[in-house]
A and B are shown apart, each in its own frame.
Chain A
Amino acid sequence: MPCRAAIGPLSPGEAVKVSYNLVLEPGSSERAYWRDLWQYRELLQVLAWRDVSVRYKQTVIGVAWTLVRPLLTMVVFTIIFSRLAALPSDGMAPYALMVFAGVLPWTFFSAALSDASNSLLNNANLISKAYFPRLVIPLAAQLAALVDLAIGLVLLAGLMIWYGFLPGWQILLLPGFVAIAFVTSLGFGLWITALNVKYRDFRYAIPFILQLGLYISPVGFSSNIIPDQWRLLYCLNPMVGVIDGFRWSLLGAQSELYWPGLWLGVGVTGLWLWLGIRQFRTLEKSFADLI
Chain B
Amino acid sequence: MSAAIVSVEQLSKSYLVGRCGARESYTALRDVIVREARGLARKTADFVRGHQIVQGDEIEEFWALRDVSFEVERGEVLGIIGRNGAGKSTLLKILGRITEPTGGRAVLRGRVASMLEVGTGFHPELTGRENIFLNGAILGMSRAEIRSRFDDIVAFAEVERFIDTPVKRYSSGMYVRLAFAVAAHLEPEVLAVDEVLAVGDAAFQKKCIGKMDDVARGGRTVLFVSHNMHVIEKLCHRVVHLEGGRMAGIYSNVREGITSYLRDAQADGAGTVWINPGDRCENAYFVPERLELASARLSARPAEPFSNEYPIVITLAGTVRQWDPALNVGVSVHSDDGQTLFYSFATDSDEESWPRLAPGPVRLRTEIPARWLNEGDYRVQVIADLRPRYWLLDPEIGGDASVGFAIRGGLSRSPVWNHKRQGILAPVLVWTNA
Q: Does A83 have its Cβ within 8 Å of any Cβ on chain B?
A: no
Say which residue of A3, A10, A128 sits within 8 Å of B71 (CB atoms): A3
A157 close to chain B: CB less than 8 A: no
Cβ contact of A130, chosen from B104, B105, B114, cutoff 8 A: B114
The 7 closest A-B pairs by CB, nearest first: A25-B105, A131-B97, A6-B2, A3-B2, A46-B137, A22-B108, A24-B106
As a 0/1 sequence over residues 1 to 18 of chain B, the CB contacts with chain A under 8 angstroms (1 = contact) are: 111100100000001000
CA distance A125 to B94 in the complex (A): 16
B69-121 interface with A by 8 A CB criterion: 71, 93-111, 114, 116-117, 120-121
- Quick check: B100 and A21 within 8 Å, CB to CB? no
**A positions within 8 Å CB-CB of B:** 1-3, 6-7, 10, 18-29, 39-40, 42-43, 45-47, 50, 53-54, 57-58, 125-132, 198-199, 282, 285-286, 288-290
Interface digits, B355-392 against A, CB 8 Å rule (1 contact, 0 not)? 00000000000000000000000000000000000000
Whether A289 touches B99, Cβ cut-off 8 Å, given contacts A3-B71, A20-B111, is: yes
Contact of A198 (CB < 8 Å), options: B53, B101, B108, B117: B53
Q: How far is the CA of A132 from the CA of B140 in the complex (A)?
A: 8
Q: Please report the C-alpha to C-alpha distance between residue A27 and residue B100 in the assembled complex, in whole angstroms.
A: 7
Give the residue name and chain of the B residue nearest to A2 (CB).
Answer: B2
- The answer to whether A126 and B120 have CB atoms under 8 Å apart is yes
What mask results when residues 256 to 272 of chain B are scored 1 for a CB within 8 Å of chain A, else 0? 00000000000000000
On whether the beta carbons of B95 and A20 are closer than 8 Å, the reply is no
B65 beta carbon closer than 8 Å to chain A: no
| Chain B neighbourhood of A3, CB < 8 A | 2-4, 7, 71
> How many A-B residue pairs lie within 8 Å, measured between CB atoms?
120
Question: Is there contact, CB below 8 Å, between A1 and B107?
Answer: no
Query: Is B109 a contact partner of A24 (Cβ separation < 8 A)?
Result: no
Would you call B346 an interface residue if the criterion is a C-beta within 8 Å of the partner chain's C-beta atoms? no
Known: A3-B71, A29-B97, A199-B47. 18 other contacts (CB 8 A): A2-B2, A3-B3, A23-B106, A24-B101, A39-B140, A43-B137, A46-B133, A50-B134, A53-B126, A54-B125, A57-B125, A129-B117, A130-B98, A130-B114, A130-B121, A131-B114, A198-B52, A289-B15
- Of the listed residues B1, B138, B140, the one surrounded by the most CB atoms of chain A closer than 10 A to its CB is B138
Which residues on A sit within 8 Å (CB–CB) of B140? 39-40, 43, 132
Number of interface residues of B (CB under 8 A): 48
Separation of A43 and B137 alpha carbons in the complex (Å): 5
Residues of B within 8 A of A23 (CB): 105-108
Given A24-B100, A129-B117, is A50 in contact with B107 using a C-beta cutoff of 8 Å? no
Q: Which residues of B contact A24 (CB under 8 A)?
A: 94-95, 97, 100-101, 105-108
8 A Cβ contacts from B386-418 to A: none
Query: Taking the nearest CB of chain A, how far is it from the CB of B327, in angstroms?
Result: 23
Residues of B within 8 Å of A20, CB to CB, are 108-111, 189
Can you name the residue of chain A whose Cβ is closest to the Cβ of B143? Answer: A42
Given contacts A19-B109, A20-B189, A288-B98, contact A7 B120 (CB under 8 A): no
B171 at the interface (CB under 8 A from A): no
Distance of A10 Cα from B189 Cα, bound (Å): 21
> With an 8 A cutoff between CB atoms, is B130 at the interface?
yes
Mark each residue of chain B from 299 to 331: 1 if its CB lies under 8 Å from any CB of chain A, else 0: 000000000000000000000000000000000
Interface string of B50-61 (1 = CB under 8 A from A): 101100000000
Shortest Cβ distance from B12 into A: residue:
A26
A212 to B123, CA, bound (A): 34
Interface string of B127-146 (1 = CB under 8 A from A): 00010011001111011000
Q: Quote the shortest CB–CB distance from A88 to chain B (angstroms).
A: 47
- Tell which of B47, B94, B117, B134 has the most Cβ of chain A within 10 Å: B134
The digit string for B156-195, where 1 denotes a CB below 8 A from any CB of A, is 0000000000000000000000000000000001000000
Closest to B94 in A: A24
